[in-house]
Amino acid sequence: MASNLAPQDLENLQLRAVRYALAHGLLYLPPGTQAAIPMSAIHAPIALFPTPFPRAQFERAKSLQSTYNTLYARIALDTWFLDEVMGTERGVGKVDDFVGKLWTGWKALRDEGLHQVRFIVSISDLCSHMVRPLHLGLFRSDYLLHVSEDNNVSIRQVEFNTISSSFGTLSQKVSEMHRHLCASTGFYESSPYLQALNLPPNNTIAGLVEGLAAAHTVYDVPSSQILFVVQPGERNVFDQLWLEYELLEKHSIKVIRLTLDELSSCSSVSSINAPLFITPLSTRGVIPIEISTIYFRAAYTPTDFPTPSHYTTRFTLEKSKAIKCPSIPLQLAGGKKVQQVLTQPGVLERFLSDEAHWGLGSSSPPEVISELRASWMGMWGLDVGGDDGVNRAREHAMNLVLKPQREGGGNNVYKEAVPAFLDSLPLEERQAWIAMELIAPPKGMKNYLIRAGGGESLVEMEVMSELGIFGWALFGDGVGESEGKVREKEVGWLVRTKGKDSNEGGVATGFSVLDSLVLVD
């Protein structure tokens, strides 16, 4: 897109992009930051030009989000389904220690009396004295463009994220940066598409905060606050802080940021389904603060739980009546195994057809179900049919990615690495892995990437870009006029761009840069 630009124009664009990022909070903490009060920051990794993306496919991805919001809300409320797919008796939890510990803790809380959900099959159920909890999801559905054998280009889903769906706020900042470059330089007329009318708006900050504020409002304790559970030494802190600032400035809602370590000594829940109170070290002697909503930006990976006490703290939070974002069942619903099981005949229809008598809003017509299925690649479990799943994966290895039940990037096995991995995979661990056909993105797309901090010169390379669509869902009792209604909304988007030869895609793990879109017809 920019190969015809003079070197001085490229340098000026890079300077303007870096200055804008530094001036507008498009930031990371530097590597190795240890001080409690950081003294410096660097800009996040960014793409110099927005990525061309078909307008119709962008609108299609956005239109699917409401259905996905409702789908994963219903999955989180189906205790039987999650027990079967993710539990330790018959599901993934048998062979995946992290999933197993989460499920076991959740099961113990249910046995102790944690509010749980049953199918709504009669008016007597609706009038039951049993109160079902509220859940909040801040979701992101990720897509790549796929070029089929007949050269049709359409979106294909990579994964659906139900916990710590990050970079919503920085994605808005990158969109604004590209709009600034367009307004100030016109990108030096490097492409006829690079006009303001082709740069779609992105208001993800307000959209995600709308979901958090909705949960806080429904909790209905005016003095309560929202808890952000964060990782120690978080470099991506500014992506979280923009949400905190928006909550305070636009909704007058205060936020407390604490790690699981800190929560182990300053949080308390008197009994199952009781309020969660926090007494931070800085406010000892002050009346404890009640928490309305717990927003997890940690607790999605085994490294967040180095000791058994970390799991104990996580389960203490879960047993409170605070609204969890996500609850353990909603976190489990985001597992790769669930994504694979949904592709099996009849499973998606179970949640979205007329037979799904959940009272969670209107049923999805068959064409919507077909649209969802059309956005998926082929996938199967390695445990399918005895050795059939593994043999099939070995046969098609060069067109496959193997995925475990992990978030955060850097966990998958690709192409030529598949056969050796299958040779080393113990029989009992097959159930924890799925095989997914690789998406074939368009070729010949180039961009200039600026790594975090600007320490490198501008790097031009052939790239591929992943689109993420954000949404939120608040579901359970007390959300709307009907029992179990889902309040949900599509609220923004994210683009991550990487070199075409890079298999992994995480920004935080250093594989990708943040980007935005220029829509083309």
The pLDDT value recorded for residue 114 is 87
Task: Write the Ramachandran bin of 73: left for phi over 0, alpha for psi from -120 to 50, otherwise beta.
Answer: alpha
The pLDDT value recorded for residue 501 is 80
Tell me whether residue 300 is annotated as binding: yes
Q: Which domains does the chain have, with CATH numbers?
A: 49-174+199-377+458-520 (3.40.50.1760), 378-438 (3.30.1490.50)
The pLDDT value recorded for residue 352 is 87
Tell me whether residue 439 is annotated as binding: yes
The pLDDT value recorded for residue 131 is 47
Tell me whether residue 17 is annotated as binding: no
Q: 267: which residues sit within 8 A by CB, 6+ positions away?
A: 258, 276, 277, 278, 313, 316, 317
The pLDDT value recorded for residue 226 is 98
> What SS3 class is residue 487?
strand
The pLDDT value recorded for residue 481 is 41
CA-to-CA distance for 260 and 174, rounded, in angstroms? 31
CA-nearest of 186, 208, 211, 210 to 197 is: 186
Tell me whether residue 4 is annotated as binding: no
The pLDDT value recorded for residue 504 is 57
Q: Could you read off the pLDDT tens digit of each residue along the chain, which spans 521 residues?
A: 556 789 999 999 999 999 999 999 999 998 877 777 888 999 999 999 999 999 999 999 999 999 999 999 999 999 999 999 999 999 999 999 999 999 999 999 999 988 643 333 333 333 333 445 799 999 999 999 999 999 999 999 999 999 999 999 999 999 999 999 999 999 999 999 999 999 999 999 999 999 999 999 999 999 999 999 999 999 999 999 999 999 999 999 999 999 999 999 999 999 999 999 999 766 556 789 999 999 999 999 999 999 999 999 999 999 999 999 999 999 999 999 999 999 999 999 888 875 444 444 555 578 888 999 999 999 999 998 888 999 999 999 999 999 998 876 678 999 999 999 999 999 989 999 999 999 999 999 999 999 876 556 688 999 999 999 999 999 986 554 444 578 999 999 999 999 988 765 556 555 689 999 999 99
Q: What is the pTM of this model?
A: 0.92
The pLDDT value recorded for residue 451 is 85
> What SS3 class is residue 474?
strand
CA-to-CA distance for 278 and 118, rounded, in angstroms? 31
Tell me whether residue 453 is annotated as binding: no
The pLDDT value recorded for residue 121 is 32
> What SS3 class is residue 42?
strand
Tell me whether residue 234 is annotated as binding: yes
CA-to-CA distance for 177 and 467, rounded, in angstroms? 18
Catalytic residues: 140, 159, 161, 166, 336, 403, 407-408, 496
Q: Are strands 446-450 and 459-475 parallel, antiparallel or unpaired?
A: antiparallel
The tokens for 69 are 């919001």
CA-to-CA distance for 324 and 292, rounded, in angstroms? 9
